[in-house]
């Protein structure tokens, strides 16, 4: 297949690119407005100059290509509601979603469009995990900033369902973790790893949240299952084998990497998409297309974190700041 990946420098895209290039029966068209960053990434994974991919910086060139599938990995940061440009949720999503829809309607109606959506379509709170009959309780006269992202993703999904004659699958990702994550992203898991690397005390709230960290191999398996499907227009919740709680994560890193942490009752949640207690899904529609996760969320954290917590030649943990009396404030609960 000739596959186009939009947003080739994104966290999710990097894991997919690495795995596709390890199975070179496909040719990748890698789209990014930062082609130099794509080159650096390919070099880092030993794929510089690979004949199995082409780098494209001009998204308008998409219409000139023959692609069996287009994977849209373009997203907008949602990490901190204090410095987010919320308008970009709408404008960026619309720009590139409409680009792909135009391709499907004018170039090749048989192309499979894989769009990355989010568990945020279910709203926020998540006192219970998402299921078949979960509703999004938006107060239409009091829409809050933490509602914006979920509304954007829900709008995109609804627009895709309207185009019922096109092959479009929205993959709802709740949480995703890999060695390619940016440790400055300010999520709970990155705060944990930053605290370890800097040998600082992690300060977090005392809410025992639950997250579903999807393994890169499982995501690739899901994508592979989608590529084998012919006629399908739907949204699918993509889950790991088992979610994990914050206390389990803290206990693991405390025992294996000497993480020091302090739990406090009242820390401001700065998530741009709202607080979420049980952010995972019990829906199992993915099984209908042959997807079976192989890794639990803890498997994902255990396996991928070792690449981020590498040791130096003396066997000591690499640190950008080794001040042992420092405190690292983990404000995020995502």
The model's pLDDT over 155-176, given as tens digits with 9 standing for 90+, comes to 999 999 999 999 999 999 999 9
What tens digit of pLDDT does each residue of 183-208 get?
Answer: 988 899 999 999 999 999 999 999 99
Q: How confident is the model over 207-218, as a mean pLDDT?
A: 96
Collapsed DSSP state (helix, strand, coil) of residue 64: helix
31 vs 309: CA distance, rounded Å: 30
Q: Give the rounded distance of the alpha carbon of 207 from its chain centre.
A: 23
Q: Give the rounded distance of the alpha carbon of 42 from its chain centre.
A: 20
Name the segment(s) of the chain with CATH classification 3.40.50.720. 2-179+211-238
| pLDDT bracket for residue 85 (50, 70, 90) | confident
Q: Which of 194, 215, 211 is nearest to 203 (CA)?
A: 194
Collapsed DSSP state (helix, strand, coil) of residue 186: coil
23 phi and psi angles, rounded to 5 deg: -125, 75
What tens digit of pLDDT does each residue of 124-153 get?
Answer: 889 999 999 999 989 999 999 889 999 999
Q: Which of 51, 55, 40 is nearest to 4 (CA)?
A: 55
Inter-residue contact 159 to 166 (CB < 8 Å): no
DSSP label at residue 60: G
128 vs 139: CA distance, rounded Å: 19
Residue 160 to residues 100, 168, 283, Cα–Cα distance (Å): 11, 7, 20
- Look at the domain 2-179+211-238 and name its fold: Rossmann fold (3.40.50)
């Amino acid at each position: 297949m000739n596959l186009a990946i939009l947003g080739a420098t994104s966290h999710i895209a990097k894991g997919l690119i690495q795995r596709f290039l390890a199975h070179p029966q496909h040719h990748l068209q890698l789209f990014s407005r930062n082609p130099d960053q794509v080159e650096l990434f390919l070099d880092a994974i030993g794929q510089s100059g690979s004949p199995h991919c082409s780098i494209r910086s001009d998204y308008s060139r998409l219409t000139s290509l023959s692609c069996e599938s287009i994977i849209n990995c373009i997203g907008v940061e949602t990490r901190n509601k204090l410095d987010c440009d919320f308008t970009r949720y709408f404008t960026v999503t619309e720009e590139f979603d409409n680009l792909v829809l135009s391709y499907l309607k004018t170039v090749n109606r048989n192309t499979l469009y894989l769009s990355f959506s989010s568990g945020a379509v279910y709203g926020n709170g998540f006192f219970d995990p998402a299921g078949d009959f979960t509703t999004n309780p938006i107060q239409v006269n009091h829409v809050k900033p933490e509602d914006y992202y979920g509304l954007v993703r829900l709008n995109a999904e609804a627009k895709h369902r309207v185009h019922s004659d096109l092959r479009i699958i929205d993959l709802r990702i709740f949480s995703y973790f890999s060695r390619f994550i940016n440790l400055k992203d300010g999520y709970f898991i990155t705060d944990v790893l930053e605290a370890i690397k800097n040998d600082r005390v992690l300060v977090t709230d005392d809410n025992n949240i639950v997250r579903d960290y999807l393994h890169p191999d499982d995501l690739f398996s899901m994508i592979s299952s989608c590529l084998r499907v012919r006629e399908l227009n739907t949204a699918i919740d993509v889950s790991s084998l088992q979610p994990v709680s914050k206390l389990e994560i803290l206990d693991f890193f405390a025992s294996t990497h000497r993480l020091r942490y302090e739990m406090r009752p009242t820390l401001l949640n700065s998530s741009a998409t709202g607080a979420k207690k049980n952010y995972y899904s019990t829906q199992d529609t993915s099984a209908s297309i042959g997807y079976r996760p192989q890794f639990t969320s803890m498997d994902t954290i255990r396996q991928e974190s070792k690449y981020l917590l590498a040791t130096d030649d003396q066997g000591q943990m690499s640190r950008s700041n080794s001040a042992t009396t420092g405190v690292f404030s983990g404000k995020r609960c995502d």
